Amino acid sequence: MKMKQEFEEEANRKKNQIIANEQKVKQREAQLNKELEQVKRKETDLDEERQSLAQQHELVKSAKRSWIGLMRKRCVLENISKISADQARDQLVESMKEEAQTKASSYIKDIMEQAKLSATKEAKKIIVETIQRTASEQAVENCVSIFNIESDDIKARSSAGRGETSGPGSSHRR
């Protein structure tokens, strides 16, 4: 019995050890599966990065070819025109400055002419108003005459015809 009991204890211990080892293996397998998933994701990410880098590399190549083509065209244009790009830019800037100055001068000249016309028109208006104001005063002064009559006889004769009487030394308006 004792041997049977030792054998069962030994069997249980080995069975428990096998179960523990199986659990460790399952845990290790689960951990390896997780790591495998991570490795697969990283591989997918790396593949995407490779594709992105390949596309960027192609874009860089294309841009480089375009740049080289533009530089060749620039060289051809410089050879044809016998001036460099910097000189051409300077000439363009100078031309634009001259055009701007011409337009500004023309604009200023137009404004000055308009100002002169406006000033002339306003001056004429002021002169006409002044003439109209002083003309009525002048007309009154020119139409009314004052005579001093020395003799009362003459005063009486001119007043008698109109029914007026005046005293000595008075003046008569006509």
pLDDT digits (tens, 9 = 90+) for 10-31: 999 999 999 999 999 999 999 9
pLDDT in tens, 152-167: 776 666 555 555 544 4
Burial class (CB in 10 A: 0-12, 13-18, 19+), 168: exposed
Q: Please report how many Cα atoms fall inside a 13 Å half-sphere around the Cα of residue 35, on the Cβ side.
A: 6
List residues bridging with 171 in a β-sheet.
148
14 token code pair: 């080995």
pLDDT, tens only, 142-154 = 665 666 777 677 6
